Structure 1
């Protein structure tokens, strides 16, 4: 069984909107709906779990009905941190998931995820138990500890930019989160970090530049332009 876990618990308003970015209207449809639809139409996804702040859950249920999102089975309260939100989702699935079921964990603010990325995440997780979606770095990365001077220039060929989904066998990601809590790690921003702390390998799945996270106003303008262009090409 393959379950998409959509993280929509953030309240960030970095782009200046009073509405969290995942709920901003994009051509008459909330951004999060664009994201959920990508998983809802994928034949390999069995169910969808959405992690969402309580204040937005009623709106989300209305949108699920309005847009016919048939695979959304659970809406779970978001936590104070990304780590807590993911763990809330994991705990909620206890008793429903087996150890070998797959969780495909994805940011709600990445609505342009392709079907290929979803398919390859599932296929690779079946083989390797833990995978991360990444793209190669097109730019040289500069390391600076104080933000004033360069401390190092790592080899670009060894560096990748992390995206989501990050996908795992249920038993593995549950163990990783529980061990992190025991060790006092409570605000990890990346689930792969927690799996690596168990000395388990995390394999790579090739991402896509279009699978960017909407964080700033410029990201929002780019998203609208891409969606508008896609509609024009279809017509």
Structure 2
């Protein structure tokens, strides 16, 4: 079984929006989270979906699921105080319904242009290797500075990648990674793959896409609007 876990527990603080989280912002009459959910709902390999959501927005989410006929959502899960806690809440919520070898495809709700190909490649890789991260090669030179004032290192660009989501795992592995992190009092990780690496396990890479960007600023919103308006996304 392949389960999409959609993380929608953020409040969009970096965008300075106070009336609603960014995942609920309308783009041409449809909230960003709906674009994301529709892609997972329409994907033939995704069996069920769990959505991690802010408690105060849960009723709004239920209305959207009915309105847009998102039928694969099986679990609605209360978000935590951090990304790590939100993912672990999802793991606990679905644990009675899944097997150790089932695949969790964990994705940010504010990456609405994820393609079916990326999701399929995640599932295939996670089934084979246990843990998978979606990345794109870094096309810019990355500068490392320890103080924000001067260059301390210029890493080799050919070795650098930009992380995206989905991040996908066999259920037993990601559950063990989170429980080990909690036991070690590591409680605020922003990356599930790091928790798996901390176990000494390997994480394989699959290629993402520049269109699979995360909405974090108003510039991102403008770009998303332009892409959708021009119809240049190919959700296959």
Which range, TM-score by smaller chain?
over 0.9
Mapping of residues 143-158 of structure 1, within 5 Å: 143-158=144-159
Residue 109 of structure 1: aligned partner = 110
Mapping of residues 46-195 of structure 1, within 5 Å: 46-195=47-196
User: How far has the Cα of 1:232 moved from its partner?
Assistant: 11
Distance 1:215 1:117 in 2: 21
- CA spacing shift, 1:146–1:100, aligned 2, 3 Å: same
Classify the secondary structure of the residue corresponding to 1:75: strand
- CA spacing shift, 1:59–1:151, aligned 2, 3 Å: same
Residue 16 of structure 2: aligned partner = 16
Q: Is the 8 A contact 2:75 2:94 kept in 1?
A: no
Distance 1:50 1:164 in 2: 15
Distance 1:232 1:107 in 2: 18
- CA spacing shift, 1:151–1:232, aligned 2, 3 Å: closer
Q: Is the 8 A contact 2:227 2:233 kept in 1?
A: no
User: How far has the Cα of 1:72 moved from its partner?
Assistant: 0.7
Q: Is the 8 A contact 2:84 2:192 kept in 1?
A: yes
User: How far has the Cα of 1:94 moved from its partner?
Assistant: 1.2
Residue 197 of structure 2: aligned partner = 196
Tell me the alpha carbon deviations over residues 70-119 of structure 1, each in whole angstroms, 9 at most, x when there is no partner: 10111100000000000000001111110000000000000000010000
Classify the secondary structure of the residue corresponding to 2:113: coil
User: How far has the Cα of 1:231 moved from its partner?
Assistant: 7.7
Residue 3 of structure 2: aligned partner = 3
Classify the secondary structure of the residue corresponding to 2:111: coil
- CA spacing shift, 1:23–1:94, aligned 2, 3 Å: same
User: How far has the Cα of 1:38 moved from its partner?
Assistant: 0.6
User: How far has the Cα of 1:16 moved from its partner?
Assistant: 2.8
Q: Find runs of 4+ consecutive structure 1 residues off by over 3 angstroms.
A: none
Distance 1:97 1:135 in 2: 30
Residue 206 of structure 1: aligned partner = 207
- CA spacing shift, 1:231–1:200, aligned 2, 3 Å: closer
Length, aligned pairs only: 233
User: How far has the Cα of 1:12 moved from its partner?
Assistant: 2.1
Residue 222 of structure 1: aligned partner = 223
- Which residues of structure 1 form unaligned runs of 5+? none
Residue 36 of structure 1: aligned partner = 37
Q: Is the 8 A contact 1:16 1:217 kept in 2?
A: no
